[in-house]
Amino acid sequence: MSKKRVSKGLDELLSCIVKTMQDKKANDIISLNLTKIQSAVTDYFVICHGNSKTQVDAIADHIIENVRNETGNILYHFEGYENSEWILIDYVDVVVHVFLNTTRSFYQLEDLWADAEIVAYEE
């Protein structure tokens, strides 16, 4: 069963997400390439965390805005703004996770997908 590509310009989308995270001083930015994992529902996770709920909101808001303006990709779904501890932004082929630092430590999402190829980005 192959996954269907929906996002326009996957490399451009990933680059825009990471650059926006860097611009907003996100911490420990990584991407997980899930394309070789049959059970994965997306091709990539991009994960980062902020040190406050305000920063988490700002990172997520700017990702949504910059991706729309710079790549033309429109988000499919988002959730988590209610408590701003874990905001998920779904572009179908790429799912973005913006965590509060303590929440990221608790869920350890990277460990759940340990088979994925991990790329770390400079902050």
pLDDT in tens, 4-20: 555 668 999 999 999 99
Instruction: Count CB neighbours of 106 within 10 A.
Output: 12
62-90 burial string, b = 16+ CB within 10 Å, else e? ebbebbeeebebeeeeeebeeebbbbbbe
Of the pLDDT bands very low, low, confident and very high (cuts 50, 70, 90), residue 123 is confident
- Give the contacts of 90 (CB within 8 A, at least 6 positions apart): 42, 75, 76, 77, 78, 96
CATH topology of domain 10-120: Beta Polymerase; domain 2 (3.30.460)
Q: Enter the tokens of residue 38.
A: 């049959």
Can you say whether residue 16 is alpha, beta or left, with left for phi > 0 and alpha for psi between -120 and 50 degrees? alpha
* Domain boundaries along the sequence of the chain: 10-120
pLDDT value for 65: 97
Query: How many Å apart are CA 57 and CA 50, to the nearest integer?
Result: 9
58-112 per-position pLDDT tens digit? 999 999 999 999 999 999 999 999 999 999 999 999 999 999 999 999 999 999 9
pLDDT value for 5: 55
